[in-house]
Each structure stands twice: as structure tokens, then as C-alpha cells.
Copies of this chain bind each other. A is one copy, B any other.
Amino acid sequence: MSSEIFLKAIDQEIVRTQYGDNPVELYEPIEYLMSLGGKRMRPLLTVIATNIFSDDWEHAIKPAIGVEVFHNFTLMHDDIMDAAPLRRGKPTVHEKWDKNVAILSGDVMLVCAYELMTAVEDGIFKQVIRRFNRTAAEVCEGQQLDMNFASRNDVTEEEYIDMIRLKTSVLLGFALELGGMIANAGETNIKLLYEIGTNVGIGFQLKDDILDVYGDPEKFGKQVGGDIIENKKTFLLIEALAQAKGKPEEKELAHWLSVQEFDKNEKVKAVTAIYDSLGIKQLAENKMNEFFSKGLSDLEKLAATAERKKPLLDLIEMLIEREN
């Protein structure tokens, strides 16, 4: 089976999924956000993981969509907290409707995610919900840490990696783990799947940080340098702050972080030049490769044939190579 077939089945089921009708303010935003698309990477991971150990991958579709609904719930609420005007190029729910609608519709969306999880067999249901609960709490912890970091200038590399592990990568870990549980892949493989997902997830986020500065403007899709303009605490900025200590770049970086009025292009160019002179890109790529490598090495340990594992290998390689 190939990822295209899985993705088609996922998209068809998303269109079929009924969240509720009345009142419309509660359910329209869910349909809206789910219809904006995205890579559907999380449900794809679930279905791919099931298919490694079982032919009955269709069994995994509904709970896989539960993971995607959960992910979109976090986007709906994060966008309120971050006061984001756009999501996937369209108005965010709190902009299109209002904040109260985005709060309450998000709450229902989280409940819908739990309801989609009920599609798994009774025998694994409690284990699935326990792992889902742990993951969901961790994703919220990651979001809170990310918000806390915005007002700090002493975030360490270790703290940053832990934050993205919670905010982004444990859900990729859970997506794969869920697929393993559905396929009854056994404890060792299920644990490996989780590790693969979290490590690849950290690599994925580090790639995001790198692309935001060093992406090809024609392929990236977003404005290159967006994180620099906003002083976003990415791996690159944290590493630059650490590496610049006692060097001329320290003062220069402090200037660009504190200046209130600036030309956007000039700031992006200047901060990128600081990153370049400190060798930040290489440091970030080394760290990223470290996590992708851990993921790939755990993938080898999974007790299945190379053929069975190929869709997951392909997906990870695609994430390593991606340019947007």
C-alpha cells in the first residue's frame, strides 16, 4: 500500500465526518478549519503505522482522523492565544467569527477527537485514551512553555528542545503509537513507533526553524525571515544568543532584538548575517540530523520487513528533504 491511497482514504473520511449541527456557531468553525487542508501528516502516520503490522489499515482511519481533529483543535485555540490573523492563508476562526466562538468550538472539537477514538477495539480503548490524555496534556504544556519563552532571553537549547518535544513531537509520536496499538504490534514495537515519531518530530520542527531563515523564497510558501522579524525564540536564535556571548555579534544581536522600528528586509538580512558568521545553520542542521538519525535507527529496529516499513521510511525522508 502507498501513502497516496492512505491519504485519499483519510481525505474522504474527513469529508464524511459529522461533528454536529446545532447551534451552527459551534460546528461550522470545525468544518471550516478541517476543510482548510494541511499535510494530514498525523493521520497518515497512524495509518502507515497500522499498515506496517496489519493489512487492515482501514480500521485505523477514524481514530487517525481523531488525531487530526485534536491537532486542529490546538491550532484553533493557539491562534487565539497568539492573536494570529491567518491559518493556512485563510482567516483564523476567532477572526472569522469571534474569540468566544473559537474557545467553545475548540472545546467541542477536543470532545470530537475523543469520540473518534471510540472507533478502536474495546480491548485497547483504555490504553489508547490514557496515552492520548498524556499526549494532549503535554501538547498544552508545550504551548504554555512556548508562550513563557517569548518574554525570556535565557532559554537554553535543552529547554527549547524539551518545549518542541511537548508542543509538536509527542503528537507525532502518539500518531505512530496509535497505529501500532490498533495493529496489535506488541509493546516493543509500539514503544519504538512512539520514539520514532517524537524524534522525527523534533527534527521536523528544527527543519521548520531552519527553513524559516534559509528556505528558498520561491519554494517556502511563507515569508522567509518571519521568525526573525517577530524575534521568535527558535533554535537558531537561542543558539545565536549562546554563541555570541563575548563576541561582537552579541551587541549587534541585542540591538536587532530590541529595536522597535525597523525595515523588515534589513533586519532579516542583518540577523541572518549574524547567524552566518556564528555558523548557526550548521549547528542547527547537526542537531536536526541527530534527531532524524535516531528516528531512522529506531525504524530499523521495528520488527517488520523493509517492504512493510517503506512508506514510513519514505515519509521520513520526505520530511528530511522538504523545502516548504
* Chain A residues packing against B (C-beta within 8 Å): 20, 22-23, 25-26, 77, 80-81, 100-101, 103-104, 106-108, 110-112, 114-115, 118, 122, 125-126, 129-130, 133, 136-137, 140-141, 143-145, 147-148
Contacts and interface: CB of A to CB of B under 8 A. Distances in A.
13 contacts: A23-B145, A23-B148, A77-B104, A104-B143, A104-B144, A108-B136, A108-B140, A110-B111, A114-B114, A114-B133, A118-B126, A118-B129, A118-B130
A182 B103 CA distance: 32
A133 B77 CA distance: 19
A111 to B, nearest CB: 5
Contacts of A106: 107
A236 B171 CA distance: 48
B133 A118 contact: yes
Given A81-B104, A107-B140, A125-B129, 11 more contacts: A23-B148, A25-B144, A101-B144, A104-B143, A104-B144, A106-B107, A111-B136, A114-B114, A114-B133, A118-B130, A122-B122
A81 to B, nearest CB: 4
A114 B126 CA distance: 11
B100 A147 contact: yes
A122 to B, nearest CB: 6
Q: Which of A20, A77, A125, A140 has the most CB of B within 10 A?
A: A140
A74 to B, nearest CB: 8
A20 B108 CA distance: 23
B81 A148 contact: no
A118 B130 CA distance: 7
Nearest to A120: B126
Contact of A104 (B104, B112, B140): B140
Contacts of A77: 103-104, 107
Given A23-B144, A23-B145, A137 B125 contact: no
Contact of A111 (B104, B125, B140): B140
Contacts of A110: 107, 110-111
B20 A141 contact: yes
A101 B22 CA distance: 28
Nearest 5 CB-CB pairs, A to B? A81-B100, A115-B133, A111-B136, A108-B140, A23-B144
Nearest to A142: B23
Contacts of A122: 122, 126
Contacts of A143: 104
Given A23-B145, A26-B140, A130 B103 contact: no
A141 B100 contact: no
Contacts of A80: 100, 103
